[in-house]
């Protein structure tokens, strides 16, 4: 697109920040609006799959994150009390050099935010967006009581899963299980693998996980994310129960978590995250485009949300670059991501109940069927490709290669 647009990016999560960087680099006038006075990351840590790493490399930000994050070679889970392995995804099944990187959410935020600041992109904090008026030629963003925030050529909705701008949604399902998350000090040479996301399950109704995160900032000590599956309706009971009762439950499932739990002394150290499953029927309308969790959202079981947010920012940038105007560019953006998004929405909806549900049948199927299947030579590579975001081309019609990091040395501790 030759003409330069006045673009509002709504929300400064990974999708908004990455889109702001791409669109600014294309010469558009970009402003970011965020509700928090002091924008910051929400939550604990996340895994960046090879597809997301490629976007960060494209933005020139990968080295900063590699210096902070923890290399992840496998996703590994045992059902208790038998100890039987029921999740075993190894990136090396795809070949040498493939791996993911786990990072503190704040590390990803700081790197993206730092790049936005260095580029001189304006971030208007403390602005809560309530709606968009699309009756005129250009979209008008509004705050509470209809107060006008501004008129733009394009509004990019990156407001996350609860965006007030998301249009008609095919169907929104509130998932019964969410999770408690806490950041805890990493124990070097401890009982947890430094290069794996590890989980323990009892049926599918109990699940604990430990993910090494590396460091939040250079020179800081290593951290891990500790998470515990919890139903939406059980949060009040969990608070009433007191921390000791909850810790005893976690330890019953996974005795080695004792030293990690010691650092949790207050409920406020744990964040409860709940998930919805939905896909926006059409991720754009006149002068408005939805990206990241505002366009689709699901449980984090497959660890795809942040990389989807990064990929979609790249897709939007490529579509704007290639389109003659917004009328052709926005449908092109939607086409680029359609099948990749559909596959993951489907896979996430299918796999989540095997690991988080009240079902007695699904975990039994998981224990006796999926685990041995996943160890078959072809199946292990297929699973690794699925988790890496590489089963289908992430950007249809666009040359894109997931990133294979040639870091085959020993995994660094925490
Ligand atoms: C517990 C948990 C674990 C996860 N683990 C992984 C993982 O391992 N790997 C992975 O890839 N993904 C993971 N995800 C998913 C990932 O975090 C999300 O998919 C990703 O953050 C979505 O990015 P986003 O920019 O679209 O939205 P968000 O990150 O939700 O950002 C939205 C931004 O908009 C702002 N905002 C919201 N409403 C308004 C408003 N009305 N006005 C102004 N500003 C507003 C918010 O403050 C926020 O800054 C996980 C998610 C959770 C909850």
**Which token pair is 176?**
């019964």
CB of 77 closer than 8 Å to CB of 250:
no
Phi and psi, residue 265, nearest 5°: -120, -5
Residue whose CA is at the smallest distance from ligand 1 atom 21? 306
At 410, the pLDDT band (50, 70, 90 cuts) reads very low
CA dist 179 and 157 (Å) reads 26
The predicted pLDDT at position 414 comes to: 42
Interval 271-276 mean pLDDT: 92
Interval 349-369 mean pLDDT: 92
**Which token pair is 91?**
């990136």
Interval 266-284 mean pLDDT: 93
Residue 95 CA to ligand 1 centre (angstroms) = 31
At 297, the pLDDT band (50, 70, 90 cuts) reads very high
CB of 17 closer than 8 Å to CB of 125:
no
- More confident of the two residues 376 and 350: 350
pLDDT in tens, 301-339: 888 899 999 999 999 999 999 999 999 999 999 999 999
For residue 46, the ligand 1 atom closest to its alpha carbon is: 8
Residue 308 CA to ligand 1 centre (angstroms) = 11
Residue 105 CA to ligand 1 centre (angstroms) = 10
The predicted pLDDT at position 406 comes to: 72
Percent of the chain at pLDDT exceeding 90: 82
For residue 306, the ligand 1 atom closest to its alpha carbon is: 11
For residue 17, the ligand 1 atom closest to its alpha carbon is: 25
Residue 272 CA to ligand 1 centre (angstroms) = 14
CA dist 167 and 16 (Å) reads 18
CA dist 107 and 134 (Å) reads 36
pLDDT in tens, 225-251: 999 999 999 999 999 999 999 999 999
Describe the chain by its helix, strand, coil percentages, rounded to 5: 40, 25, 35
Half-sphere exposure at residue 252, Cβ-oriented, CA atoms within 13 angstroms: 8
The predicted pLDDT at position 413 comes to: 46
CA 122 to chain centre: 25
CB of 105 closer than 8 Å to CB of 113:
no
Residue 256 CA to ligand 1 centre (angstroms) = 30
- More confident of the two residues 54 and 374: 54
Residue whose CA is at the smallest distance from ligand 1 atom 8? 46
Region of 296 please: left (phi>0), alpha (psi -120 to 50) or beta. Answer: beta
My answer on whether omega of the bond before 392 falls inside 30° of 0, hence cis, is no
The predicted pLDDT at position 44 comes to: 84
CA dist 288 and 239 (Å) reads 41
- Substitution candidate for ligand 1 out of 9, 10, 11 with most atoms within 8 A of CB: 11
Residue 248 CA to ligand 1 centre (angstroms) = 31
pLDDT in tens, 14-55: 999 999 999 999 999 999 999 998 766 666 899 999 999 999
Residue 293 CA to ligand 1 centre (angstroms) = 6
- Substitution candidate for ligand 1 out of 108, 305, 308 with most atoms within 8 A of CB: 305
For residue 211, the ligand 1 atom closest to its alpha carbon is: 8
Residue 69 CA to ligand 1 centre (angstroms) = 19
pLDDT in tens, 172-197: 899 999 999 999 999 998 899 999 99
Instruction: Output 326-332 pairs: Cβ under 8 A, ≥24 positions apart.
Output: 326/1, 326/5, 326/153, 326/154, 326/287, 329/1, 330/284, 330/289, 331/284
pTM of the entire structure?
0.94
Q: Say yes or no to pLDDT of 374 above 80.
A: no
Residue whose CA is at the smallest distance from ligand 1 atom 4? 300
- More confident of the two residues 291 and 168: 291
**C-alpha dist (Å) from residue 241 to 140, 176, 205, 209:** 47, 20, 18, 21
Interval 100-120 mean pLDDT: 96
At 409, the pLDDT band (50, 70, 90 cuts) reads low
Taking CB atoms and a 6 Å cutoff, what residues make up the pocket around ligand 1?
11-16, 33-36, 43, 46-47, 128-129, 158-160, 164, 179, 181, 273, 292-294, 300, 303-307, 309
Q: What is the mean pLDDT of the chain?
A: 93
**Which token pair is 63?**
């080295």
- Substitution candidate for ligand 1 out of 20, 21, 309 with most atoms within 8 A of CB: 309
Instruction: Output 346-354 pairs: Cβ under 8 A, ≥24 positions apart.
Output: 347/302, 347/386, 348/277, 348/298, 348/299, 348/301, 348/302, 348/304, 349/277, 349/298, 351/301, 351/302, 352/175, 352/298, 352/299, 352/301, 353/204, 354/204
Q: Say yes or no to pLDDT of 252 above 80.
A: yes
């Amino acid at each position: 697109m030759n003409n330069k647009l006045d673009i509002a990016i709504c929300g400064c999560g990974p999708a908004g920040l990455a889109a702001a960087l791409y669109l600014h680099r294309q010469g558009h006038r970009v402003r970011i609006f965020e509700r928090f006075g002091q924008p910051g990351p929400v939550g604990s840590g996340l895994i960046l799959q090879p597809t997301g790493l490629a976007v960060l490399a494209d933005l020139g930000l990968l080295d900063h994150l590699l210096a902070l994050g923890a290399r992840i070679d496998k996703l590994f889970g045992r059902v208790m009390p038998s100890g039987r392995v029921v999740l075993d995804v190894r990136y090396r099944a795809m070949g040498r050099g493939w791996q993911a990187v786990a990072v503190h959410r704040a590390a990803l935020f700081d790197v993206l935010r730092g790049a936005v600041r260095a580029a001189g992109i304006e971030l208007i904090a403390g602005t809560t967006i309530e709606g968009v008026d699309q009756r005129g030629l250009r979209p008008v963003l509004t705050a509470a009581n209809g107060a006008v925030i501004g008129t733009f050529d394009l509004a990019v909705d990156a407001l996350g899963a609860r965006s007030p701008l998301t249009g008609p949604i095919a169907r929104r399902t509130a998932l019964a299980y969410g999770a408690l998350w806490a950041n805890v000090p990493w124990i070097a040479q401890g009982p947890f693998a430094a290069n794996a996301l590890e989980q323990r399950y009892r049926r599918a109704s109990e699940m604990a996980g430990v993910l090494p995160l590396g460091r939040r900032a250079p020179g800081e000590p290593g951290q891990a994310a500790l998470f515990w599956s919890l139903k939406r309706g059980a949060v009040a009971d969990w608070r009433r129960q007191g921390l000791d009762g909850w810790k005893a439950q976690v330890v019953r499932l996974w005795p080695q978590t004792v030293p990690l739990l010691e650092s949790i002394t207050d409920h406020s150290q744990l964040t409860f995250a709940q998930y919805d499953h939905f896909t926006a029927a059409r991720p754009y309308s006149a002068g408005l485009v939805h990206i990241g969790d505002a366009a689709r959202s699901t449980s984090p079981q497959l660890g795809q949300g942040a990389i989807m947010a990064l990929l979609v920012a790249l897709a939007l940038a490529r579509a704007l670059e290639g389109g003659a105007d917004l009328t052709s560019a926005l449908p092109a953006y939607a086409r680029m991501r359609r099948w990749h998004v559909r596959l993951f929405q489907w896979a996430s909806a299918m796999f989540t109940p095997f690991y988080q549900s009240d079902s007695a049948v699904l975990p039994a199927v998981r224990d006796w069927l999926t685990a041995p299947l996943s160890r078959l030579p072809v199946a292990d590579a297929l699973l690794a490709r699925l988790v890496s975001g590489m089963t289908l081309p992430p950007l249809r019609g666009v040359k894109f290669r997931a990133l294979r990091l040639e870091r085959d040395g020993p995994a660094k501790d925490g």
